[in-house]
Amino acid sequence: MPGANLTRIEAEARKAVVEAPIHYHVNLDLTVGAKTFGSDVLICFNAQPGSSTFLDLIADEVSEIVLNGQRLDPSEVFVDNRIELTGLKTKNEVSVKALCRYSNTGEGLHRSVDPSDGNVYLYSQFEVPDARRVYAVFDQPDLKATFDFKVLAPKSWIVTSNMPAASVEDDDRLTAEGTLEAKPAETTRLWSFDPTPVMSSYLTAICAGPYAEWHTEYRNEDGRTIPMAQYCRQAVADAFAKDVDYLFDITKKGFAFYAKTWGVPYPYAKFDQIYVPEYNAGAMENIGMVTIRDSYVFESKVTDALAERRVVTVLHELAHMWFGDYVTMKWWNDLWLNESFAEFTSTLATAEATEWHDAWATFCSGEKSWALRQDQLPTTHPIVAPINDLNDTYVNFDGITYAKGASVLKQLVYYVGRAKFFQGIHNYLNKHAYSNATLGDLLAELELTSGRDLKAWSAKWLEESGINTITPELEENGDGTIASLTLVQSAPAEHPVLRPHRLALGFYNEDAATGRIVRTDRLELDVDGESTAVTAAAGKPRPALLLINDEDLTYTKIRFDANSLAFAEQRLPDFDDALARAVIWLAFWDMTRDGEFPAERFVDLTLRLLATETESTTFRYALACMSTTAHHYVAADRRDEVLKHVAAELWKLAGAAEAGSDSQFQLATAYLGYGEEGDAAFAANARGLLDGSVTLEGLEIDNNFTWTIVNALASVNEYDDADIDAQLKKKETTENREFAYGARAVKGTAEAKAWAWDQALNNADLTNSQLEAVARGFAATPRPDLAAPYAAKYFETVDWIWSNKTFHMAEALLEGLYPGYADPVELVSLGESWLAGHEDADAALRRIILENVYSSKRTLKVRKYNESL
């Protein structure tokens, strides 16, 4: 769709034509059926007289276009998802009547039917720019406007938008057949909402359906009372009701923390949070009405890591109300600034304003490990990435944009000083309120408050790709004191940039009284250039472990001196501080995936850590990275033995874990991912957990864990389609349908893989979440013989997927269906051949394929290292 991929040059040209004020009157009719809805918009805007421009619109049908009183022929002016507007005046009015299509892909206006009760739920998702799937619009962030929405909906529904409802009026019309699925037609209501403040179109939002609702209010720091609401599907309302007060409390703590931290009270009229089904992202910062994936409604036991992540997500989206919404980027190249700032400040707020005090350890193990992985791919890019068109934007919702950017902002806070940093943020928000700004605008304010020249800092940290490594060179005196300590900074050849770092060195030793490893000394210093002498360390007793980047103040890879490495490998579980453990563990994982530390030693180190680790996200990522290591990185002839060893140890650890604990839950879940066909003991344990003949004290076999067991049994062909269908019939819900699709796809047979491949590619009735479940199940069975037939087939299908699917669905398929358990030599050969033949392919598509192929290249490299030992 040529008109669907807006380029930066086109956006700049349109910005030069279209002028403020811009106002939209948007009328949506949600009563016309199950496939489409009515969209009627009147846009008032100024422009350069005599100029031409275009509106964005993706619609099934456009019945009327009127520009300044003149009817235009839709067949002539509506082409390639654009409406051409010519002969513009100083003041203009254009009206567009259209039929737009509901999606089942999480884009535009998504329509979901809950199988448990037949209720229909709608929600919008407009980032990157998908408001054009719902109404005609100048869909770019720097053409800010005011909006008023009117929505006609079934009488039994509620409708929410960015602003409070000004009126809700009953209507005598009846809904069309199919609007409410199998339910009888009913009369309608017209919801009219207050006009919005000036805002970007991608932040407008509409949700509609028979959502359950809860309300409270917050006394804002400017004296206003802010209405607050939480919404979810009726089917999960009982579970959600248990958490509503807690989530309101977390949100209120966020209001207070942010207002105090940067001195700007919450700026909008209300704040809703609506938990919606089949969501592509974690959440979305629509002004005044945040949408959140309803997997964050916990009907079954979840890890503490996920419970904490929900808190961070709530605070992340709340931070966007100021940073991204109140002040918005001019173009998508500054997307990172929105996301990095929200990620950094939400972690800060979680650590300082909630009970999750180890949030920075969570950030290190989770977000930062994501950043390090992304930054070492051939597709790495500067934090300030060049964004030439919308396709570039889609693929930059990545570990650089979120996690590296957040880590670098944390470094910037220490570089300029916390008080000066947030004073600069205060000034930036006030200066650019309700408008658009750039990175340069932010740095200008930070320079004024800090006195630092940030242009050179920005050039190295934000405008260059890659990651540095800092290694200690330590010489010891005969009496055990440090003679000299030098920190050596290096950079990869392809990104040879050495950066300034503000970091801490931690000295760790055993506490004689407790046997725990504690920090006994700390130095904080600036590191710059290739070599930095740490003169303050001379004469100090050499510690058992010297930790570079203690407290995780900067963004870098670290290495250890030989003594520290040996000590950390043996004593990591005994370190008293969760963040120190996370920093050390991440360094070991990085060395393992770089082929510098033996895979089997990493597995054993991780198993020892899991016996005592209390930080849930570190626990979760340790399990995940151990799985990658055991399945992909160990020497090929050792793989089966290592997998059996890991499975046995996980089962032992689960049995020894505290009853009902997070550790027990994660260990039992992880164990169920190590099944092999023909392993009678595994099958007995899994079936025993399911029927109650095998128990782990305190481990509840609830709905979601039941499906975890079903998935495990299906993967080793101990559960067939009839068994899966029977399990689903016990409780057919939105979530359980997804679990069932995944269980069918994960089965260890060629027939199951063929079915999954066909369903993922060709079943247009699958929702986005169901498609993702099928793709995950297809690729998750760790058997090379089942993956092998799809190596060539994958690369033969790439072009068709890209041409026939929306971006989000194409991304889900191209990432999810990659047969990573096939022979990596063949995958690399096929992948390089495809890339060589597609040099002119869309950059977004090439990036996805490059990253898949590189994962196979890394497997080959690391496996070769381990085979050489």
Q: Are residues 457 and 507 in the same domain?
A: no
Q: Are residues 398 and 479 in the same domain?
A: no
Looking at residue 862, what is its pLDDT? 98
Check pLDDT > 60 for residue 359: yes
Check pLDDT > 90 for residue 163: yes
Split into its structural domains, the chain has a count of 4
- Establish if 87 belongs to a structural domain: yes
Check pLDDT > 50 for residue 280: yes
Q: Are residues 498 and 580 in the same domain?
A: yes
Question: What confidence category does residue 3 fall into, taking pLDDT thresholds of 50, 70 and 90?
Answer: low
Rounded-to-integer distance, Cα 447 and Cα 468, Å: 25
Under a CB-based contact definition with an 8 Å cutoff, are residues 741 and 777 in contact?
yes
Looking at residue 118, what is its pLDDT? 95
Strand partners, 193: 165
Q: Are residues 56 and 126 in the same domain?
A: yes
Report the b/e string of 502-539 with b at 16+ CB within 10 A: bbbbbbbbbeeeeeebbbeeebebebeeeebebeebee
The residue annotated as part of the active site, out of 299, 317, 367, 600, is: 317
Check pLDDT > 60 for residue 330: yes
- Establish if 317 belongs to a structural domain: no
Q: Are residues 206 and 82 in the same domain?
A: yes
Q: Are residues 102 and 158 in the same domain?
A: yes
Rounded-to-integer distance, Cα 190 and Cα 752, Å: 48
- Cα distances from 745 to residues 61, 733, 738, in angstroms, run 37, 18, 11
Name the percent of the chain lying above pLDDT 70.
100
- Establish if 741 belongs to a structural domain: no
Looking at residue 392, what is its pLDDT? 83
pLDDT digits (tens, 9 = 90+) for 82-107: 999 999 999 999 999 999 999 999 99
Report angle CA 249, 255, 257 to the nearest 5 degrees. 100
Question: What confidence category does residue 406 fall into, taking pLDDT thresholds of 50, 70 and 90?
Answer: very high
Q: Looking at residues 495-501, what average pLDDT do you find?
A: 96
Looking at residue 5, what is its pLDDT? 86
Q: Are residues 411 and 336 in the same domain?
A: yes
- Establish if 701 belongs to a structural domain: no
DSSP conformation letters of 759-812: HHHH-TTS-HHHHHHHHHHHHHS--HHHHTTHHHHHHHHHHHHHHHS-HHHHHH
Residue 59 has what DSSP assignment? -
Looking at residue 868, what is its pLDDT? 97
Domain end point (choices 191, 210, 229)? 210
Residue numbers of the domain that contains 102: 2-210
pTM > 0.85: yes
Q: Are residues 95 and 64 in the same domain?
A: yes
Q: Are residues 202 and 347 in the same domain?
A: no
**Pairing mode of beta strands 36-47, 91-101:** antiparallel
Rounded-to-integer distance, Cα 733 and Cα 126, Å: 26
pLDDT digits (tens, 9 = 90+) for 611-646: 999 999 999 999 999 999 999 999 999 999 999 999
Question: What confidence category does residue 217 fall into, taking pLDDT thresholds of 50, 70 and 90?
Answer: very high
Residue 414 has what DSSP assignment? H
- 471, with CB counted inside 10 A (0-12, 13-18, 19+), is middle
Under a CB-based contact definition with an 8 Å cutoff, are residues 137 and 201 in contact?
yes
Q: At what angle do helices 418-431 and 439-450 cross, to 10 degrees?
A: 130
Rounded-to-integer distance, Cα 30 and Cα 153, Å: 5
Q: Which amino acid is at 57?
A: L
Q: Determine the longest span between alpha carbons in the chain, in angstroms.
A: 93
Check pLDDT > 60 for residue 1: no
pLDDT digits (tens, 9 = 90+) for 333-344: 888 889 999 999
Cα 303 to chain centroid distance, Å, stands at 18
pLDDT digits (tens, 9 = 90+) for 111-131: 999 999 999 999 999 998 899
Q: Are residues 565 and 440 in the same domain?
A: no
- Establish if 123 belongs to a structural domain: yes
Strand partners, 23: 44, 146
Cα 296 to chain centroid distance, Å, stands at 13
CATH number at residue 365: 1.10.390.10
- Establish if 683 belongs to a structural domain: no
Name the percent of the chain lying above pLDDT 90.
94
Question: What confidence category does residue 550 fall into, taking pLDDT thresholds of 50, 70 and 90?
Answer: very high
Catalytic residue at 677?
no
- Establish if 644 belongs to a structural domain: no
What element of type H or E holds 393?
A: helix 390-394
Domain end point (choices 445, 461, 477)? 461
Q: Looking at residues 136-143, what average pLDDT do you find?
A: 97
The helix/strand/coil state of 682 is helix
CATH number at residue 135: 2.60.40.1730
Q: Are residues 457 and 501 in the same domain?
A: no
Question: What confidence category does residue 818 fall into, taking pLDDT thresholds of 50, 70 and 90?
Answer: very high
Half-sphere exposure of 135 (CA within 13 A, CB side): 27
Report which of 666, 23, 697 is spatially closest to residue 301, judged by C-alpha positions.
666
Looking at residue 395, what is its pLDDT? 75
pLDDT digits (tens, 9 = 90+) for 408-457: 999 999 889 999 999 999 999 999 999 999 999 999 999 999 998 899 99
Mean pLDDT of all residues in the chain?
96
Q: Looking at residues 714-720, what average pLDDT do you find?
A: 97
Domain end point (choices 439, 461, 483)? 461
Rounded-to-integer distance, Cα 842 and Cα 75, Å: 29
pLDDT digits (tens, 9 = 90+) for 239-254: 999 999 999 999 999 9
Q: Looking at residues 534-547, what average pLDDT do you find?
A: 97
Rounded-to-integer distance, Cα 332 and Cα 378, Å: 22
The helix/strand/coil state of 476 is strand
Q: Are residues 456 and 490 in the same domain?
A: no
Looking at residue 2, what is its pLDDT? 43
Looking at residue 807, what is its pLDDT? 87
- Establish if 451 belongs to a structural domain: yes
